Chain A
Amino acid sequence: MATETKGQSTAESLRKKRTYGKFRCHNPSCMERIQPGKGEKTAKCPTCGMEYRVHWVNPTLPRIRGPVWDVNRKLADAKLKEKGVL
């Protein structure tokens, strides 16, 4: 049932769980939260080793611009080989 606790809707109450200054690793089974150093241009996932280029939407809001292509390709090729995909 629709519930509104303390005058807040579901969506509004979920805002409390929001995190700032971090993004999640794009490797879908990893999804580790990564906190790049302020203004840093790259960040490496401490869990799975994927490496990303960082873009700062504003000084407190970083996002992944894209992978570090060479690192990404190397990891993907190794995985392809491991899975036996031609």
Chain B
Amino acid sequence: MALNRKIAYIDLTTGDVQTESIPLAVRKKFIGGRGLDAYLLYNHTKKGCDPLGPDNALIISGGILTATCASATARTHIMAKSPLTGMLGSANMGGFFAPELAWAGFHHLVIKGKAKNPSYIYIHNGEIEIRDARNIWGQSVTDAQWAIRQELGDEEVKSCVIGPAGENLVRFANVMTGVKNAAGRTGMGCVMGSKNLKAVSVRGTMDIEIARPMEALEYNKRFIDQITSAKVSQTQGTLGTPFIWGATNSWGGVRTRNFQYNQCEYSDDIEPERIDEICEETMGPYHMTGCFGCQVHCRAQYKIPEGPFAGKYEEGPEYTSLGAFGAETDTPRALTVLVGNHLVNQFGMDNLEVGSLISWAMELYELGIITDKQTDGLDLSWGNDDAVIEMIERIAYRKGWLGDVLADGGIPASKKIGKKSFDYLVQVKGMSNLHSDERATPALALNVATASRGSDHLRSRPAIDLYHLPEEVLRKIYSNPVAYDGPLSSEHTEYIGKPWQVFWQENLYMGVDCLGICKYHTVFLGVTLPSFEEWSKVLLYNTGIEMTPEEIWDAARRCNMLERLFNLREGLKRNDLEKGDMLNHRYFDEPCRRGAVDVVGTMIDKKKFIKMVDELYEHQGLDKNGVPTPETLESLGLKNEPSHLL
């Protein structure tokens, strides 16, 4: 049964390993994946713990549905206190690791302590050992994975690894699996590096018994039909996530030159169709691939076509690499994007954070806030492709003054750079914003400001708000599984009704993260994709757990509230520009200058924005300061947290 997958507690200091079952009552409260991780993190760390100290808990998990008959259950979730933000650290990636972990007998790993020497953990059919990794320390992401396979004599071993960036404690280092699957936000790779942990490797052949196999398979056919028939899935499967960047750039919703412009004009060389052509030229026409159990296949494969890295195999580039190494830095050239994407993947570093920080440094260079002295002579002018590539390496290896300073993340860097550098840093809770520009989209701005792990598009973004769906369609979506009769607006420049959409999406995304399913298989980009109603059945048929759509919604709310409690414990304050639910002043002061005619001149109205935050807090059951009321905690069954049930 999926439900007999266990939790393993691993202490790298002592070498002690303990395993424990997950009681059904706990499952029903927190389900699994990210939700149960939030419970474990809140219970296994203390207020103010050092993110890079041995007491920080690094939690690695699959969802409750991982490796069952359900589609697209490939997601691996990683959680710890973040060394980038000092608050919630949480990152999610696709690939093949989580199913292998489930086949090896586990759903959650809680790793504490610090190994004396570089080490890796090997898990094989219920057995766990800590092994020497001194000979693979220093290796790139893909080399390290192959070295482990070779050492273990098994090509089917799947690993979560860190690259040089994690070893060098770059605060936004990734945990990676495969070539480009990246748990790439909030610096989970840095936490691994601080524990001297190079990798977690798994191999499993333990069957997972399905509760109602025939019904599970039959229902999954319907699920697959929903996914593959959606236009958005068909486009994803042809062009990958760059199609989202292309569409967003088309109307003026991407950040360019840090935050100076909202459209990268004449960017034909990095448009998704161009990237697709390059992939076809280097890999042939069938260059799209996918994660475990996925029907979308949104991941492109390519070889770098020319230059010093010519012939290197890589995957992607995703939306974020187009933004990071194309638009943000005003270098809209395919080769820069492809090479930049390759380097961050091999170094194991968050492309989004890297691109944002380089473009921030470029703006500071333009303004004279940093000079050639700080850059060690590197010309950081906009559009300098070589400088972008050079800075990626300098950050990963902490080379030079600027590389070392940026490797600590934006807020610490702004304190070292001084002057007015912080004013130009586009971040929330210490994490850089996605390379999209939300000045024309209040709902998306609200999402970015209030997301639990810092500025983020995958925690509560109502992306379908951009589709101008008729109100009756919106109401149908947003009134399930709980009734909502408040205002909703089809106009995405509006402020009314948006807090409910953000609240609904927040619970939807938590739900999908608990199940272990990819967000491209739910109401993220496509309105006709599966949601709470479908999940209730998938859960029942695969695991035997009976949960109504409303109960899944309640569990998602509970898990989101736990993340909130963690952040409040670590210092979240509503309007704090460093640790709060607040946006950089540029959202309110600087109008959009490019894009579709009705986007030009728009910016966020601060008064209306504050009202939206008030309303969102009300939906969430928080008071005006963003703190949960006693009634909310009581109703969610969180009054006695931390409860130490696990």
Contact = CB atoms under 8 A, between A and B. Distances in A.
Contacts of A50: 596-597
B601 interface: yes
Contacts of A76: 252, 593-597, 600
Interface in A61-83: 61, 63-67, 69, 72-73, 75-76, 78-80, 83
Contacts of B163: none
Interface in B430-481: 440, 466-468, 473, 476-477, 480-481
B531 interface: yes
B548 interface: yes
A2 B600 CA distance: 40
A34 to B, nearest CB: 13
A14 B476 contact: yes
Interface string A9-47: 111111101101000101111110000000000000000
A10 B601 contact: no
B533 A4 contact: yes
B249 A66 contact: yes
Nearest to A73: B265
Given A10-B476, A12-B528, A57 B271 contact: no
B226 interface: yes
B527 interface: yes
B493 A29 contact: yes
Contacts of A73: 265, 594
A1 B550 contact: yes
Contacts of B249: 66
Contacts of B529: 11
Interface stretch (B92-100, B230-238, B623-631): B230-238
Which of the listed residues B234, B467, B549, B598 has the most CB atoms from chain A within 10 Å of its own CB? B598
Nearest to A63: B235
A67 to B, nearest CB: 6
Interface string B225-258: 0100101001100110001001101111000000
Contacts of A20: 231
Interface residues of B, number: 58
Contacts of B599: 27-28
B597 to A, nearest CB: 5
B231 A61 contact: yes
A18 B467 CA distance: 12
Contacts of A85: 591, 593, 600-601
A80 to B, nearest CB: 6
B268 A66 contact: yes
B367 interface: no
A67 B250 contact: yes
Nearest to B536: A2
Given A2-B480, A27-B596, A57 B601 contact: no
B467 A24 contact: yes
Nearest to B468: A31
A63 B243 contact: yes
A14 B597 contact: no
B106 to A, nearest CB: 32
A14 B477 contact: yes
B597 A75 contact: yes
B597 A27 contact: yes
B523 interface: yes
A26 B265 contact: no
A4 B243 CA distance: 33
Interface string B507-551: 000000000000000010001111111101000000000001110
A25 to B, nearest CB: 8
B596 A28 contact: yes
Contacts of A13: 476
A83 B591 contact: yes
Contacts of B596: 26-28, 30, 50, 67, 72, 76
B134 to A, nearest CB: 49
B592 to A, nearest CB: 9
B234 A61 contact: yes
B262 to A, nearest CB: 10
A20 B482 CA distance: 31
A59 to B, nearest CB: 12
Nearest to B274: A65
A20 B229 CA distance: 12
B266 interface: yes
Which of the listed residues A10, A48, A72, A73 has the most CB atoms from chain B within 10 Å of its own CB? A10
Which of the listed residues B267, B466, B468 has the most CB atoms from chain A within 10 Å of its own CB? B468
A83 B591 CA distance: 10
A2 B531 CA distance: 11
A28 to B, nearest CB: 5
Contacts of B530: 9, 11
Interface in B248-300: 249-252, 265-268, 271, 273
Nearest to A78: B597
B483 interface: yes
Contact of B247 (A18, A26, A79): A26
A79 B477 CA distance: 35
B250 A26 contact: yes
A50 B480 CA distance: 36
B195 interface: no
Nearest to B238: A57
B185 interface: no
Given A66-B249, A79-B600, A12 B226 contact: yes
A20 B231 CA distance: 9
Contacts of A12: 222, 226, 528
Given A2-B480, A28-B251, A76-B594, A65 B246 contact: yes
Contacts of B226: 11-12, 15
A80 B260 CA distance: 15
Contacts of B473: 14, 17
A24 B464 CA distance: 13
A11 B523 contact: yes
A75 to B, nearest CB: 5
Closest 3 CB pairs of A and B: A26-B251, A83-B601, A29-B598
Interface of A: 1-4, 9-15, 17-18, 20, 24, 26-31, 48, 50, 52, 55, 57-58, 61, 63-67, 69, 72-73, 75-76, 78-80, 83, 85
17 contacts: A1-B483, A2-B550, A4-B533, A10-B531, A11-B528, A15-B528, A28-B251, A48-B597, A63-B243, A65-B246, A65-B271, A66-B268, A67-B596, A72-B596, A75-B597, A76-B594, A83-B600
Given A26-B250, A29-B491, A57-B239, 7 more contacts: A1-B550, A2-B480, A12-B528, A28-B466, A28-B598, A66-B267, A67-B596
